[in-house]
């Protein structure tokens, strides 16, 4: 077996949440629990998307419009829309053949490390979306975790209130850097000037930035970059991941894409420069057979006038939830970060409570479930993550309960 799998920490976070919930429910059978910890959307697919799905299904029923295997990187009808709308309208040059349509930002951000050397030094922010860490541990880049849960082989970049959740540049040479903005779990965003420091660093060091923009649609303040390619020079040093999951409710429908620019090169042991676009194309064509035609048709509907309006309305709905949570918690003196250009709220635990103690308090007193920040990395200790993806009525009720029942 691959011994590196033995070094993975067990998924303690969600199993421990489930254990505490079960115990609470057994002790309080009548309690109505509201989950503000979930990272999954609750609104159904928008009508324009549903219509596109139905039409595509009907096409599959007729011999003249039936589709079998499609092009592995995605159909042009979708990649052209992505290039024009996600990038062109923001003045960013990305060509359709640099876009790889996939079944998820999770798989792409987990798989991308395969095209890099096994001994690459990897930097991640702390706290972090666990997929970046675990996929590198599986590949042998993590080494063994210490008592605090940090892997000796990885470089951690702490993000806390003290540094405004902005990671400092690594203090030793690294080859790959995962950045995610708007951030899961902290809800922080990065300004163009801050992102430029990372692009400049990567260019100086010969490093590659793996930029996860899964929550790009939640950015509403002008001036905050939606894509790393808005920064000059990024095309030579960055890969960008995007997803329809939280933008258009595709968590169960599955569609995402990754941009690998033609100017992005790695260096072989021989010193030869190798196109990372070519390597990723090779990887995907060997191990992936493309996203279903009907799903790509559904994704393309996101770019129609009607579809764009509808999915923007859904993101507005979640952003309103975020505002309701933030204002409610701030009203009782809690310190809340994020939730402005992001669906995540990162709440400082009151007093000297640790993440789990605050989780318990919220559960016991308000019957509301969050996610302990410590589960996202050692620097998440002292925080709790709430999400804006719930139903409006439940979100409002949860906030009301927190305001009236939490003894602070
Ligand atoms: N990237 C981040 C930061 C996420 O939080 C998530 C989902 O939770 C994903 C990627 C995965 O998205 P997808 O549903 O496209 O796999």
Ligand 1 pocket test: which of 109, 188, 248 has the largest number of ligand atoms within 8 Å of its C-beta? Answer: 109
193-215: pLDDT as tens digits = 999 999 999 999 999 999 999 99
d(CA 214, ligand 1 centre) in Å: 6
333-350: pLDDT as tens digits = 999 999 999 999 999 999
Whether the pLDDT of residue 357 is over 90: the answer is: yes
142-166: pLDDT as tens digits = 998 888 889 999 999 999 999 999 9
Whether residue 184 has its Cβ less than 6 Å from ligand 1: yes
Ligand 1 pocket test: which of 243, 254, 258 has the largest number of ligand atoms within 8 Å of its C-beta? Answer: 243
Q: Is 0.85 topped by the overall pTM?
A: yes
- As a whole number of angstroms, the distance between CA 406 and CA 349 comes to 12
Question: Which domains are seen in the chain, by residue range?
Answer: 3-44+306-405 (3.90.1150.10), 49-304 (3.40.640.10)
Can you spell out the DSSP letters for 267-321? Answer: E-TTS-EEEHHHHHHHHHHHH-----HHHHHHHHGGGSHHHHHHHHHHHHHHHHH
Closest atom of ligand 1 to 245 CA is 14
Whether residue 245 has its Cβ less than 6 Å from ligand 1: yes
d(CA 224, ligand 1 centre) in Å: 20
73-123: pLDDT as tens digits = 999 999 999 999 999 999 999 999 999 999 999 999 999 999 999 999 999
Residue 16's contacts (CB-CB under 8 Å, 6 or more residues apart) are: none
- As a whole number of angstroms, the distance between CA 39 and CA 35 comes to 10
pLDDT attached to residue 39:
85
d(CA 243, ligand 1 centre) in Å: 7
DSSP strand pairing (208-212 vs 238-243)? parallel
Instruction: Indicate the pLDDT class of residue 369, thresholds 50, 70 and 90.
Output: very high
231-282: pLDDT as tens digits = 999 999 999 999 999 999 999 999 999 999 999 999 999 999 999 999 999 9
Whether the pLDDT of residue 12 is over 80: the answer is: no
* Mean pLDDT computed over every residue of the chain: 96
pLDDT > 90: percent of the chain: 95
Whether residue 104 has its Cβ less than 6 Å from ligand 1: yes
Closest atom of ligand 1 to 250 CA is 14
Whether residue 249 has its Cβ less than 6 Å from ligand 1: no
Contact 78, 299 (CB under 8 A): yes
pLDDT > 70: percent of the chain: 100
Whether residue 105 has its Cβ less than 6 Å from ligand 1: yes
Whether the pLDDT of residue 180 is over 90: the answer is: yes
pLDDT attached to residue 102:
98
Whether residue 129 has its Cβ less than 6 Å from ligand 1: yes
Whether residue 110 has its Cβ less than 6 Å from ligand 1: no
pLDDT attached to residue 231:
98
| Phi, psi for 133 (deg, rounded to 5) | -70, -55
298-317: pLDDT as tens digits = 999 999 999 999 999 999 99
d(CA 297, ligand 1 centre) in Å: 21
pLDDT attached to residue 155:
97
Closest atom of ligand 1 to 255 CA is 15
Whether the pLDDT of residue 10 is over 90: the answer is: no
- As a whole number of angstroms, the distance between CA 325 and CA 336 comes to 9
């Amino acid at each position: 077996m691959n011994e590196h799998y033995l070094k993975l920490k067990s998924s303690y976070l969600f199993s421990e949440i489930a254990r505490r919930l079960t115990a609470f429910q057994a002790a309080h059978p009548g309690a109505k629990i509201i989950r503000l910890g979930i990272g999954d959307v609750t609104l159904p697919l928008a009508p324009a998307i549903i219509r596109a799905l139905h039409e595509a299904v009907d096409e599959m029923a007729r011999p003249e419009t039936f589709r079998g295997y499609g092009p592995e990187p995605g159909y042009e009808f979708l990649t052209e829309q992505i290039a024009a709308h996600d990038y062109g309208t923001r003045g960013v040059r990305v060509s359709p053949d640099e876009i790889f349509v996939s079944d998820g930002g999770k798989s792409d951000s987990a798989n991308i490390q395969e095209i890099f050397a096994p001994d690459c030094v990897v930097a991640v922010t702390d706290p972090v979306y666990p997929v970046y860490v675990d996929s590198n541990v599986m590949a042998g880049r993590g080494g063994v975790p210490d008592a605090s849960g940090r892997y000796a082989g990885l470089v951690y970049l702490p993000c806390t209130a003290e540094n405004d959740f902005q990671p400092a540049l690594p203090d030793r040479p690294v080859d790959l850097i995962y950045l995610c903005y708007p951030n899961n779990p902290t809800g922080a965003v990065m300004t163009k000037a801050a992102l430029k420091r990372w692009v400049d660093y990567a260019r100086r060091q010969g490093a590659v930035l793996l930029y996860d923009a899964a929550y790009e649609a939640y950015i509403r303040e002008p001036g905050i970059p939606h894509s790393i390619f808005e920064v000059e020079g990024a095309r030579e040093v960055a890969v960008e991941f995007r997803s329809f999951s939280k933008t258009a409710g595709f968590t169960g429908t599955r569609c995402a894409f990754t941009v690998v620019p033609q100017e992005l090169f790695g260096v072989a042991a021989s010193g030869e420069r190798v196109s990372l676009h070519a390597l990723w194309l090779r990887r995907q064509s060997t191990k992936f057979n493309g996203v279903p035609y009907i799903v790509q048709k559904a994704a393309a509907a996101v770019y129609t006038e009607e579809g764009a309006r509808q999915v923007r309305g859904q993101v507005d709905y979640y952003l309103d939830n975020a505002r309701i949570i933030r204002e409610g918690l701030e009203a009782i003196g809690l310190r809340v970060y994020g939730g402005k250009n992001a669906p995540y709220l990162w709440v400082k635990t009151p007093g000297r409570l640790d993440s789990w103690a605050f989780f318990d308090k919220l559960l016991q007193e308000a019957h509301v479930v969050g996610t302990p920040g410590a589960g996202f990395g050692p620097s998440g200790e002292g925080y709790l993550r709430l999400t804006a993806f719930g139903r409006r009525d439940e979100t409002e009720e949860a906030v009301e309960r927190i305001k009236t029942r939490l003894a602070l």
